[in-house]
Chain A
């Protein structure tokens, strides 16, 4: 539901960059941790709605969700945590810590020259 706020924040950054580049933004790539609850479809819909009539109209959104990382306290290995099977895949231990979730980041924008 908060994708609209994310979209507004995103649009501000893309607009600033588009003005700087004097180019038309085509695609914005975003990454975030799994615990960020940002849905690509809803975010794309929100972007479509708020970019209408702006220089960013038509920009596509791609969201890459990074897995939640865990660190095993037994074998010390880092691993991708699965909510469905919460054990270390290396040694099967359930003694581990979850690492902080990756923040929501605008990684790159693809532009087309005007």
Chain B
């Protein structure tokens, strides 16, 4: 029996595509954000509201990842924004090669911002770089306030945290969700994380999220 040293990254094939996507985005000066959350946190609702409310200021394109169906892409297309649906057919995350193909099919020159809506899953998508400028993690109130501690990877790697469905924090509903705990736990894992508390349903808190997006677009454009 003998040993051979290898020392090679296992996901290097994904990384090569991710680097190519990154180069493409830099060349075109486009901001691209990878949205990651559990299923049902409200990613698509956040996106449709964002697209509608910012339509006079910026053009947004969306790459939708789902295991099956194009339901989410249809919801995006109903806002008139370009959307590309990727069906992973069972895979729990999007990979950089899929994004590479999707980016080529978007009208990139007309867009200011590209959202990737990853497969609803708080674990696996965090391990696959897609070449994006940043990850945005969405956590909704009904999921509970213990998620940053239980699923630290995605909170440690994200640029922004959206705490969605804060309309449910009305005292009459008696929901146990300590929003300060979520913020503190997320900041322990990631000092620089931007946190936005909002409701994509009522619209509360969306303005600060929009300001952050527009600043990000301007920064990318002037880079």
Contact flags B2-32 to A (C-beta < 8 A → 1, else 0): 1111111111110000000000000000000
Q: Do B1 and A112 touch across chains, with their CB atoms under 8 A apart?
A: yes
> How near does chain A come to B90, taking the closest CB pair, in angstroms?
9
Chain A interface residues toward B at CB < 8 A: 1-2, 5-6, 9-10, 13, 17, 21, 23, 26, 30, 35-38, 68, 83-84, 86, 94, 96-98, 101, 103-113
Q: Do A1 and B123 touch across chains, with their CB atoms under 8 A apart?
A: yes
Q: Known: A26-B1, A37-B126. Contact between A9 and B11, CB under 8 A?
A: yes
Interface size of B by CB at 8 A reads 32
Which among B43-51, B71-79, B151-159, B200-208 touches the partner chain?
A: B151-159
Chain A residue nearest to B123 (CB atoms) is A37
Q: Do B4 and A97 touch across chains, with their CB atoms under 8 A apart?
A: no
Chain B residue nearest to A96 (CB atoms) is B191
> How near does chain B come to A8, taking the closest CB pair, in angstroms?
10
CA gap between A84 and B149 in the complex, in Å: 8
Chain B interface residues toward A at CB < 8 A: 1-13, 91-93, 95, 121, 123-124, 126-128, 149, 152-153, 156-157, 188-191
CA gap between A84 and B148 in the complex, in Å: 11
Q: Do A107 and B127 touch across chains, with their CB atoms under 8 A apart?
A: no
Q: Do A104 and B11 touch across chains, with their CB atoms under 8 A apart?
A: yes
Q: Do A6 and B10 touch across chains, with their CB atoms under 8 A apart?
A: yes
Please list 27 pairs of residues, one from A and one from B, whose beta carbons are closer than 8 Å in the complex, sorted by A's number.
Answer: A1-B123, A2-B92, A2-B93, A2-B124, A2-B128, A5-B91, A5-B95, A17-B6, A26-B1, A30-B10, A35-B157, A36-B153, A94-B188, A98-B156, A104-B11, A104-B127, A105-B9, A105-B10, A106-B8, A106-B10, A108-B3, A108-B6, A108-B7, A109-B3, A110-B2, A111-B3, A111-B4
Q: Do B10 and A110 touch across chains, with their CB atoms under 8 A apart?
A: no
Q: Is the interface of B mostly helix, strand, loop or mixed?
A: mixed
> How near does chain B come to A32, taking the closest CB pair, in angstroms?
8
CA gap between A83 and B156 in the complex, in Å: 11
Chain A residue nearest to B129 (CB atoms) is A103
A111 neighbours in B (Cβ, 8 Å): 1-4
Most A Cβ at <10 Å: residue of B1, B8, B123: B1
Q: Do B156 and A37 touch across chains, with their CB atoms under 8 A apart?
A: no
Chain A residue nearest to B191 (CB atoms) is A97
> How near does chain A come to B52, taking the closest CB pair, in angstroms?
34
Q: Which of A37, A97, A106 contacts B127 (CB 8 A)?
A: A37
> How near does chain A come to B102, taking the closest CB pair, in angstroms?
18
Q: Do A104 and B10 touch across chains, with their CB atoms under 8 A apart?
A: yes
